[in-house]
Amino acid sequence: MTFRNGLASLLRPEDSVLVLIDHQPYQLTNLNSHDPHMVVNNATALAKTAKAFGVPTILTSVIADRGGLIFPQITDVFPGQAVIDRTFINTWEDKKVVDAVTATGRKQLIIAGLWTEICVAMPAIQAAGEGWDVTVVTDASGGVSVEAHEVAIQRMIAGGVNMMTWLAVASEWQRDWARTEHAAELTEVLVQHVAGSGIAFLWEQQLLNTPVPKVAG
C-alpha cells in the first residue's frame, strides 16, 4: 500500500472535486448507522463548503422516479444544477458521472453518499484503482447498520481510500486563517451546521459587541 502522508497529500480546493451520491428519501429510510438528521446536516454542510471554496460538485441519484429526489437541503445549494440520474448502482460505471468529474481536470476525488457499503464503496474502490486520489467523507455518508458502515470503511481503507469527516475536509481546504478569501463563507457554514461551536461563535460576537455597564449590579 502507498501511504498517504506529507503536505502534498492534504486536500486542496483547487485540486478537489466532490461527488454527492444518492442522498435520497429511499436510502434515508433505512439509514441506521447514524442519526438521519446528522447525515442530512453534514451532507448539506459539505455541499455548502464546496460551493464556498469553488470546488466543483456533481450531484447524482439512482432511479429518482422511485427512490426520490436528492434532499432539497443539498440541491438548494446549487440552484438550477442538473442532477445526473443513474441506473448503475456503482456510480463509477456511469459514463456521464465519470465524464463530468474528468472534465474538471482535478484528481482529488471526494465522495459522500448513501449507503456507505454499496453506493460509496463501489465507486471509491474502483476510482482508487484507476489512479484517482479518493477521499470518502464518512459522516456525510451512512449505511444500513453500524456494522455495514464500519466494514465498508475498513474495506475502502484496504483499497487505498482516504477517510475524513466533513469538518476535517473544510479545515484542510481553509488550511490557514490568514487566507481570508473564503473565511467569511466558511464561518457562515460553521454557524449554520456546527451547533455548539457555531453558537459559541455567535455568543463571542455578542459579547465583543456588548458595551460594559457603567455601573456594576
What b/e string do you get for 142-171 counting C-beta neighbours within 10 Å, with b at 16 or more? bbbeeebbeebbeebeebbbbbbebbebbe
Q: CA–CA separation, 95 vs 84, rounded Å?
A: 11
Give the other-Cβ count within 10 Å of 80's Cβ: 5
Query: Is the Cβ–Cβ distance between 120 and 148 less than 8 Å?
Result: no
- For residue 205, give the DSSP letter: H
What letter represents residue 48's amino acid?
K
Q: Choose, from 39, 119, 124, 189, the residue flagged as catalytic.
A: 119
For this structure, is 81 an active site residue? no
What phi and psi, each to the nearest 5 degrees, are found at residue 196? -55, -45
Q: Grid coordinates 464556498 are at which residue? A: 52
How far apart, in whole angstroms, are the C-alpha atoms of residue 27 and residue 66?
A: 11
Q: Which residues are catalytic?
A: 119
